């Protein structure tokens, strides 16, 4: 028996509760993991609060991240005792995820836990930090170096935004943070932001082309914000898009792309090939200041998940939430 957050839907409606589950109910998979830590991401909060169509079948254990120890495996790449890590692959949506003390998964979804991190640290980073690293690597791949100019990070108080600022600052970039919570300016400066701007300056409908400013940007907001970023990106600049907090629509024109050669790079972290994941985590081991984890992260127990998800959806949670499955 193990404890888990269980989402269900029946004639009585949508329900979420902390449950005790028998091992026999675990889904199919070739690796069984004793989960030590998981996380509470925006996508998890959408699922738990039923604010978005995240869950594809019921019942479902949410949680897009997990780190733990292999207990059983028929996958030749893993053996009992191995420390492993998972981000994405649709867990918590179509396959039971990490907000449980045990998980049964496909071995191809797992990577070894990097030696540089404990399970707790890996989950402090989680999908948010891993996605931020993929976005930074996309900027680099397209030629954006620190000498090219300012980098804009939107959704700065969220997990992706916080890690993007910390990584970029450590690499020597000048980072401008866009936030709707100006009272968090000191936190963003501690992470490495050199300037704070109000998200309202980007969130309304704008012109097809605006004054050139950004050499690059990492955007987790979408909608008008992303359109305005593209419109104000400098010649041959790069915008890495990885979220839709404002909305899925993209009310833009082709002007920034055909007149300024702007690159819009889509960042998918869910279905990324294994080698890309390994490379991103290797970069995190060298390019992320561990001291930033204490600033970015708070830890909760499984019993606190539902309430914290409600707070996250209200914009009351800063940075990352790590869920300790061992208590």
pLDDT in tens, 248-295: 999 999 999 999 999 999 999 999 999 999 999 999 999 998 888 888
Residue 175 sits in a domain whose CATH number is 3.40.50.720
**Rounded Cα gap, residues 240 and 252, in angstroms:** 15
Strand partners of residue 198: 179
Domain that holds residue 174: 127-266
281 domain residue, yes or no: no
**How many folded domains does the chain comprise?**
2
- Widest Cα–Cα separation across the chain: 60
Buried/exposed code over 21-52 (b: 16+ C-beta within 10 A; e: otherwise): beeeebeebbbbbbbbbbbbbbbbbbbbbeee
Closest CA to 312 of 39, 42, 7: 42
50 domain residue, yes or no: yes
Positions of E strands within 129-286: 151-153, 175-179, 195-198, 214-219, 233-241, 263-266
pLDDT for 186: 95
Strand partners of residue 8: 15
Same domain, 101 and 144: no
Residue 95 sits in a domain whose CATH number is 3.90.180.10
pLDDT in tens, 166-197: 999 999 999 999 999 889 899 999 999 999 99
SS3 label, residue 223: helix
**pTM beyond 0.75:** yes
């Amino acid at each position: 028996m193990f404890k888990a957050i269980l989402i269900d839907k029946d004639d009585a409606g949508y329900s979420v509760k902390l449950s005790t589950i028998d091992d026999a109910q675990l889904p199919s998979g070739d690796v069984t993991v004793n989960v030590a830590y998981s996380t509470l991401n925006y996508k998890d909060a959408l699922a738990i609060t039923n604010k978005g169509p995240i869950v594809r079948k019921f019942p479902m254990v949410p949680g897009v991240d997990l780190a733990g120890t292999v207990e059983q495996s028929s996958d030749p790449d893993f053996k009992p005792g191995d420390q492993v890590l998972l981000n994405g692959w649709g867990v918590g949506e179509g396959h039971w995820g990490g907000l449980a003390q045990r998980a049964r998964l496909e071995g191809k979804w797992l990577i070894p836990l990097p030696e540089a991190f404990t399970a707790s640290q890996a989950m402090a980073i989680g999908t948010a930090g891993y996605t931020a690293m993929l976005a930074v690597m996309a900027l680099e791949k397209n030629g954006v170096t620190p000498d090219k100019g300012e980098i804009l990070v939107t959704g700065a108080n969220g997990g992706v935004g916080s890690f993007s600022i910390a990584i970029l600052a450590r690499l020597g970039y000048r980072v401008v943070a866009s936030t709707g919570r100006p009272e968090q300016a000191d936190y963003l400066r501690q992470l490495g932001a050199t300037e704070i701007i109000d998200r309202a300056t980007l969130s309304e409908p704008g012109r097809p082309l605006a004054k050139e400013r950004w050499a690059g940007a990492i955007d987790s907001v979408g909608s008008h914000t992303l359109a305005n970023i593209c419109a104000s990106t400098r010649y041959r600049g790069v915008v890495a898009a990885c979220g839709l907090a404002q909305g899925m629509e993209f009310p833009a024109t082709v002007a920034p792309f055909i007149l300024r050669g702007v690159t819009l790079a889509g960042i998918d972290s869910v279905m990324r090939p294994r080698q890309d994941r390994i490379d991103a985590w290797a970069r995190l081991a060298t390019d992320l200041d561990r001291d930033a984890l204490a600033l970015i992260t708070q830890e909760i127990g499984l019993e606190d998940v539902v309430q914290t998800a409600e707070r996250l959806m209200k914009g009351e949670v800063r940075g990352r939430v790590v869920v300790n499955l061992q208590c």
